[in-house]
Chains A and B, each alone.
Chain A
Amino acid sequence: MIERPPDPANPAYLSVVDAGRLLQGGRLSPIELVTAVLGLIDDHDASIGAYISIRREQALSEARIAGTEIRGGRYRGPLHGIPLAIKDNIAVAGLPTTNGSRVMADNVTDYDAAVVGRLRQAGAIILGKNSMHEWAMGSTCSGMAFGTVRNPWDPDSIPGGSSGGSAAAVSASLAMAAVGTDGMGSIRVPAAYCGVVGLKGTYGLVSRFGELPPTSSWIDHVGPICKTVADTKAMLDVLAGHDPRDSTSRQRPRSSAWRRTVSRLRGLKVGIFDNYFRDDLEPEMASSFDAWTAALEGAGAELRIVSAPSLGLCPLALLAIQSERESLLLEYAFDPANFAANDIRLRIIASQFISASDHLRALRVRDLVRDEIRLILDEVDVVATPTTSTTALKIDAPTIALGPENTLYDRADPGVIHRATVRLTWPFNVAGVPAISVPAGFLSDGMPWGVQLAAGAWQDDVLLEIASAVEHELGVGYHVPPLAEASSVRDDA
């Protein structure tokens, strides 16, 4: 249930699960729902910039078909008739898939990505493609080839990235849910900044077929961004599954052992790191996370202090990503006109000077970090961290304050944006374990912050159950941002 929607009669503000119940029961039609969401897009996307392309007429046509199917007793499940959005590095047949790049502006595929195909099979309606950070190689979504994405909670702040358009769209109810990608935190960071839920599953759980390059062979994940944890589970149930077209896809059962051993949060073993994750927290984020862990303990959870000394080496493992991912784009990098973000272009050129031996050494660091995290997750049900060290950064801020002393760093320095945004999320990409960001409240700047929970490999359902318990018992959940509050129901359905 969404608390305090600005217009309770507007179905666009519903969660996927709640809308699905109404659709199944015939109390809401897909055409009403799609029309309502398109209405909010018309009202607000000019100021948010969440979409690169919208398939309005096709979506309305598919909504009519879905309505006919549901009325005829052919209800396909919780996503039937639900309008969703897709990040623009995931192929949707007939639409451009730009990867946020001018180079790919005219790239129209004649096939769907695996996840899009699965969503269509489930009866979901694809509204369009979401803006993103260029080539998914950054986390601001500012000054991109197709514009700047703005945070629905503050138009002067970034939405995060690289799935920034997707998180902004879900936050502002411009989509009921969205599909993003996460190589270092690109689902969870924008989810935290925009006050929604973002999940990357176990590596291999969701097919990456149709996710366009550059993707790394060992860190990239496709996953859902939603208003609630229940919506996230509904989405993952459709997105997950073995796909022989993706060599990294795995056919393994998702464990749900937790529900048999723990009742809600009582007795839950939660690991809290004593290193790395606190280093850059701004003071209010640190105190808010401490208050959150105290509330978790008060709800019956057992906190365990854990330590992973190698986490600090994570930035070294980045070398392996850089040499693998960015080497794909060298030929484009020589022409500045191909790039909106010059730092990406320079990183691509610089990556040519990473030696093969350093690449291998970086992979060994990755293995070290991965093993430490996985060993910790053998001993606890989940680990909990803040998702980010700060709330969403201002779009034009020249400096970034990090750490207990609010030390200022020059935003233009290589690595500073990375450190400020994805530093707390990407260890779990390295580990390949499922991780989720859930809304945890608001700091004094009025911006949302998120808590990140991670569980052992293939414990995706366990993680979702725990996240659901956290959502309900520590109760913050999704709130409608102020940008969306001026809308009303359209009557042109």
Chain B
Amino acid sequence: MDSVRPRDVPHGNVDERVEVLLQLARIEFAGRISDRDLTDLRPYLTRIVEASALLRVLDFGNLDPTSAALLVHRGGPTCG
């Protein structure tokens, strides 16, 4: 497979994956985390999910570093 172009990176399911992680957080940290915290966690989890998606693509060797770096720089994951 040739290098994946930026538009091909599997970001389409980011929101769904973030929702799953928020549900997990709600269950795993029940009674220890507030609704406000769960709301505020969303952007942090989004960064993690986006980074995870890019890492998986990179790890399979089908995204060249230049394209991936472009994605990161254009507002992709910075992970705080």
Chain A residues with CB under 8 Å of chain B are 275-276, 279, 309-313, 315-316, 318-319, 322, 334, 342-343, 346-347, 349-355, 358, 361-362, 364-365, 368, 413-416, 418-419
Contacts and interface: CB of A to CB of B under 8 A. Distances in A.
Chain A interface mostly: helix
B5 interface: no
B58 A315 contact: no
B41 A346 contact: yes
B79 A342 contact: no
Contacts of B47: 350, 414-415
Chain A to chain B: the 10 pairs with minimum beta-carbon distance, closest first: A312-B69, A415-B78, A350-B44, A361-B55, A318-B79, A334-B32, A309-B65, A310-B65, A315-B78, A414-B80
Among the interface residues B59, B64, B73, which one has the most CB atoms of the partner chain A within 10 A? Answer: B73
B52 A346 contact: no
Contacts of A415: 47, 77-80
Among the interface residues B21, B54, B76, B79, which one has the most CB atoms of the partner chain A within 10 A? Answer: B79
Contacts of B77: 315-316, 319, 415
Among the interface residues B66, B76, B80, which one has the most CB atoms of the partner chain A within 10 A? Answer: B80
B70 interface: yes
Given A318-B78, A358-B48, A413-B43, 16 more contacts: A309-B66, A312-B68, A315-B51, A315-B77, A318-B51, A334-B29, A342-B40, A346-B44, A347-B80, A350-B44, A353-B21, A354-B48, A358-B52, A362-B55, A414-B47, A415-B80
A481 B45 CA distance: 41
A368 B79 contact: no
A349 B26 CA distance: 11
Nearest to B45: A350
Interface string B21-41: 100110011001100010011
A71 B43 CA distance: 62
29 contacts: A312-B72, A313-B58, A315-B72, A315-B76, A315-B77, A316-B58, A316-B72, A316-B79, A318-B78, A318-B80, A319-B48, A319-B51, A319-B79, A322-B80, A334-B29, A334-B33, A349-B25, A349-B29, A349-B33, A353-B21, A354-B48, A358-B52, A361-B55, A413-B43, A414-B47, A414-B79, A415-B79, A418-B79, A419-B78
B11 interface: no
Contact of A368 (B24, B43, B65, B73): B65
A355 B51 CA distance: 11
Nearest to A138: B80
Contact of B65 (A313, A318, A322): A313
Contact of A343 (B32, B45, B69, B80): B80
A343 B76 CA distance: 19
Contacts of B80: 318, 322, 343, 347, 414-415, 418
Contact of A316 (B32, B45, B54): B54
Interface residues of B, number: 35
A416 to B, nearest CB: 8
Contacts of A275: 69
Contacts of A351: 48
Contacts of B76: 315
Contacts of B51: 315-316, 318-319, 358, 362
Contacts of A362: 51, 55
A353 B48 contact: yes
B55 A319 contact: yes
Contact of A418 (B55, B56, B64, B78): B78
A312 B69 CA distance: 4
A313 B24 CA distance: 28
Among the interface residues A322, A353, A416, which one has the most CB atoms of the partner chain B within 10 A? Answer: A353
B21 to A, nearest CB: 5
A272 B37 CA distance: 44
A313 B72 contact: yes
Contact of B73 (A279, A310, A364, A413): A279
Contacts of B44: 346-347, 349-350, 414
Contact of B79 (A312, A322, A355, A413): A322
A350 B38 CA distance: 10
A311 B73 CA distance: 11
